[in-house]
Amino acid sequence: MTDKTYNVLFLCTGNSARSIMAEAILNVLGHGRFKAYSAGSRPSGQVQPMARELAEAIGFDASQVRSKNWDEFAVEGAPEMDIVITVCDNAAGEACPVWLGHPALAHWGVPDPVAATGNEEDRRRAYTAEFATLRRRIELLLSLPLQSLDRLAAQAKLGEIGRVGAE
């Protein structure tokens, strides 16, 4: 058994919903074995209220969460990431910074609930559905024997997880 805490960075373009929800889920379900962060290539500057609400509903303290640029994690002194996961198709296609430590990289594309149309109930359904998809994928991440996988094997397993629920 290892005492290692794995640092995971979730990336999205706006860092206002999907990446924030993933950060919250992993920090709650990871029970200290993981430290999750989130950022965006072009952060919106705000956290979507429904994303914040869902994060808080599972016990995440969202008081310190904010929409931020991924450059904060690519500078000297930033936490070294073990895993970097894009959760939106736009961020997956962008040129990412060079991450210190050569983390395992994966793409877990999730539809953007911010783009949901309709009334509040329709939008809430979209947020809840994407939150559930992220939670299921994070539960699978938590079941991986990361301490016994090299970076390439971990990256392959993380890629497989990214296809769960994408059918």
**β partners of residue 10:** 38, 85
Q: What is the pLDDT of residues 134-166, one digit of tens each?
A: 999 999 999 999 999 999 999 999 999 999 876
Give pLDDT, residue 1: 47
Strand order in the sheet with 104-107: 34-40, 6-12, 83-86, 104-107
Question: Three-state DSSP class for 165?
Answer: coil
Q: What is the pLDDT of residues 105-114, one digit of tens each?
A: 999 999 999 9
Residue 43 burial (CB count, 10 A): 22
Catalytic residues: 12, 88, 96
Residue 96 burial (CB count, 10 A): 16
The pLDDT of 45-59, averaged and rounded, is 96
Q: What is the pLDDT of residues 80-92, one digit of tens each?
A: 999 999 998 765 5
Token pair in block for residue 22? 């993933």
Residue 74 burial (CB count, 10 A): 16
Q: Report pTM.
A: 0.92
Higher pLDDT: 165 or 79? It is 79
Token pair in block for residue 114? 């911010």
